Structure 1
């Protein structure tokens, strides 16, 4: 940990954050399972056997995986654009974001004296 809090450091990833194992898989897998669930629900609604028409389950699952991947890409693009705008604003207005020294809880909190 650095001793100084620089606002631009907070918006940059210098290799100190690694994605989790399920991070890139979460949206596609969840949307794929939701697609299979939709196919099961449609079969149930038409009073057919739940797993009949397996090609429909595969198709809805594939559409769900594609939609989850698309949503993940759009979210990453949005977050990257937002971080770029914030970084640019901080670079243009450095007076509004001064570099601050890190403080410990002991320096910030007042000493506690019990009242009895």
Structure 2
């Protein structure tokens, strides 16, 4: 078993983010906005069901909207935790079992494409 045969740096590099990666604003705040809107709309729906003015109990709108934003933040953190844990498990498996990750073989287009025969 040579050093080149068990070089797993290419597999570990697949799990890393690029240095220039920047999360866009939609991905960063979409859960906050969604759950904040749900929290804001819940008292409105309740007011419509009970036939009250839409903005009656404005304090509930503010509290439920803020609570929804908090729930969105918690879910975002939970997602980041689960994904980081998954990546840690994958990194550990790759380092413990390098024989399962041979270096990929380079293929040319000639190997990938089938021979083309025109049908006339």
> Does TM, normalized by the shorter one, top 0.5?
yes
| Deviation at residue 16 of structure 1 after TM alignment | 4.2
Per-residue CA deviation, residues 27-55 of structure 1 (Å, 9 max, x unaligned), is 11111011011111111111111121111
* Equivalent residue pairs, number: 112
Q: How much is the aligned-residue C-alpha RMSD, in angstroms?
A: 1.8
Match of 1:19?
23
Q: Which residue of 2 aligns with 1:57?
A: 61
Structure 2 residue runs of 5 or longer lacking an equivalent are 1-8
Q: Which runs of 4+ in 1 moved over 6 A?
A: none
Unaligned ranges ≥5, structure 1: none
Larger Rg: 2
- The whole-number CA distance in structure 1 between the counterparts of 2:61 and 2:109 is 55
Q: TM-score, normalised by structure 1?
A: 0.86
The within-5 A match list for 1:1-116 is 6-116=10-120
